[in-house]
Amino acid sequence: MSSGVFSVIAILFVVLYLTWTIVANLPRRDRATSHRLADRTGVVIYWRPGCKYCMRLRMRLRFTPLRYAEVNIRQDPEAAAFVRSVADGNETVPTVTVAEKAMVNPSKQQVLEAVKTYAPHLAGE
């Protein structure tokens, strides 16, 4: 492979990675909220920008019918305090609550299973 083709592939990869990072860190307009305003009887995802685990979970959940709220703990000190209260004093994100049951760094499957168990009316199926 010539160095010119390699350079184009490398640039394309960087552009795609940066685009994905930006998109994954953007809160959904209809889902962004604060800890105080979030409906904690539903599903709430506590996250922070730059967290690869948050990006992964939020991107995977975007392709499900599940309705949920997103709270950025960097913009909401009350949310950060809540996360610390359920994560042994750490700001470990993503932290997800389903009907007020907290899970620290869950997978998409764990979130969906918790919804089936604690809030089946939210499954959106």
Average pLDDT taken over every residue of the chain: 87
**CA–CA dist 119, 123 (Å, integer):** 7
What pLDDT was estimated at residue 100? 92
Q: How many folded domains does the chain comprise?
A: 1
* pTM, two decimal places: 0.77
Residue in 59, 85, 83, 87 with CA at minimum distance from that of residue 73: 83
- Average pLDDT, integer, range 27-42: 76
d(CA 12, CA 35): 38
pLDDT at residue number 20: 67
Q: What is the mean pLDDT of residues 63-87?
A: 94
Residue 75 belongs to domain spanning: 3-122
CATH number for the domain harbouring residue 88: 3.40.30.10
User: Cα angle at 103 between 38 and 59, to 5 degrees?
Assistant: 70
Comparing CA positions, the residue from 76, 73, 24, 20 lying closest to residue 45 is 73
